[in-house]
């Protein structure tokens, strides 16, 4: 009889822990907020957050105004039709030395598999940001799947960082 009460107490404690864990998970959520826009890293972070929130107008505003820039409808359609699908990836933004006009920011694209036993792949790359006439940083190039292959056919080559 004592063992039955002890087992019942353990089961109730486990049930309470499960309910608390689920409540914390749903209450906390996964809300990302925009950060400061005074550094190239801040611009990159806000661009990614805007894409996650499907705020395509704001994300489009972070792009450099130059030849080859897609129009807004083409930009938005690339994400809505999953031509560009960053939902299975994450972008780790590195530190860089800021120059006056152009900066290369090292990034790591982390790609996850959709299967339950899939691997995670890491790809080192670079993001290119330039200052516009008003002094704001704008994105000139990013790795796929955050950037369309046909955007900005200006021949700007972004150096690839060697893998560690």
- pLDDT confidence of residue 27: 75
- pLDDT confidence of residue 31: 66
Which of 78-82, 108-112, 116-120, 134-138 is predicted with the least confidence, judged by mean pLDDT?
116-120
| Nearest residue to 62 via CA among 80, 77, 76, 48 | 48
With vertex at residue 135, the alpha carbon angle to CA 158 and CA 62, rounded to the nearest 5 degrees, is 55
**Considering the chain, what is the average pLDDT of its residues?**
83
Q: What is the mean pLDDT of residues 91-97?
A: 83
Choosing among 3.30.700.30, 3.40.50.150, 3.40.50.1970, 3.10.450.50, the CATH entry for 32-141 is 3.10.450.50
Percent of the chain with pLDDT over 70: 86
- pLDDT confidence of residue 17: 92
> How are strands ordered across the β-sheet holding 137-141?
89-93, 102-112, 120-131, 137-141
């Amino acid at each position: 009889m004592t063992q039955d009460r002890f087992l019942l107490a353990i089961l109730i404690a486990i049930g309470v822990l499960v309910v608390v864990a689920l409540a914390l998970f749903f209450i906390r959520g996964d809300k990302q907020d925009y950060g400061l826009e005074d550094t190239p890293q801040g611009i990159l972070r806000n661009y990614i957050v805007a894409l996650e929130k499907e705020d395509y107008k704001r994300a489009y505003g972070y792009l450099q105004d130059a030849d080859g820039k897609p129009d807004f409808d083409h930009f938005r359609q690339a994400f809505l039709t999953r031509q560009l699908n960053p939902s299975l990836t994450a972008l780790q933004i590195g530190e860089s030395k800021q120059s006056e006009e152009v900066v290369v920011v090292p990034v790591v694209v982390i790609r996850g598999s959709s299967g339950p036993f899939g691997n995670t792949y890491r790809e080192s790359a670079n993001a290119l940001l330039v200052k516009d006439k008003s002094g704001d940083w704008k994105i000139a190039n990013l790795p796929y799947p955050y950037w369309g292959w046909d955007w900005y056919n200006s021949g700007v080559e972004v150096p690839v960082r060697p893998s560690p």
